[in-house]
A and B are shown apart, each in its own frame.
Chain A
């Protein structure tokens, strides 16, 4: 399978715990994006990387959220001290660095904070 993969697919955690999600992009894609989606809404942009550089962060990304892409390949998104409002689907996408950068999405990680 050469598509975008995400792990885990589901995560249930208690409020206050830390969680980490992983995204493996399509291998030749140098751009990687993280989004959050809640029921009835479109995905909301969180952050994106070009290779290992984090170039943009949304105001939605509070200081409890951190993302890394240390070698320009896979990326991790960590949420510290989770809150019930963090419950959502976390989607990762990747694209080439071209003018019409079509993004391809992974299956997402569904987070439930109890």
Chain B
């Protein structure tokens, strides 16, 4: 089992749709959680940190469920410019520092 798992997609949605991604992680001692966005042949860019209380930034909402060991990302009112790969990231500091990226979920938003 991979340490961080994501549905690879692709998710094909029309503009204006709401789309949700989930990510599961295996290390219950994980400490920090993030969503990154990566455009084709570009570097990952931080989209949101995911806090225990959940957080919202405009059209984006992230949630953390420690009991079930998953994080989620909700995108409302999708724009064409949201088309990208969304990477789930988990860090832990038990048995050594680790940052684990999921393989990413591809999103295509179409007009």
Contacts and interface: CB of A to CB of B under 8 A. Distances in A.
Contact of B103 (A35, A40, A45): A40
Interface string A38-52: 001111110010000
Contacts of A99: 31-32
A101 B92 CA distance: 11
Main secondary structure of the interface of A (DSSP, over half): loop
Interface in A32-78: 33, 35, 40-45, 48, 55-56
Given A45-B99, A48-B97, A100-B32, A105 B49 contact: no
Interface string A73-114: 000000000000000000100000001111111111000000
B101 interface: yes
Nearest to A33: B99
Which size class do A's interface residues fall under?
20 to 34
B72 interface: no
B99 A42 contact: no
Interface of B: 4, 31-32, 34, 42-46, 49, 87, 91, 96-104
Interface of A: 33, 35, 40-45, 48, 55-56, 91, 99-108
Given A42-B4, A45-B101, A100-B32, 16 more contacts: A35-B101, A41-B103, A42-B102, A42-B104, A43-B44, A43-B87, A43-B101, A45-B98, A45-B100, A56-B97, A99-B32, A102-B34, A102-B46, A105-B45, A107-B42, A107-B43
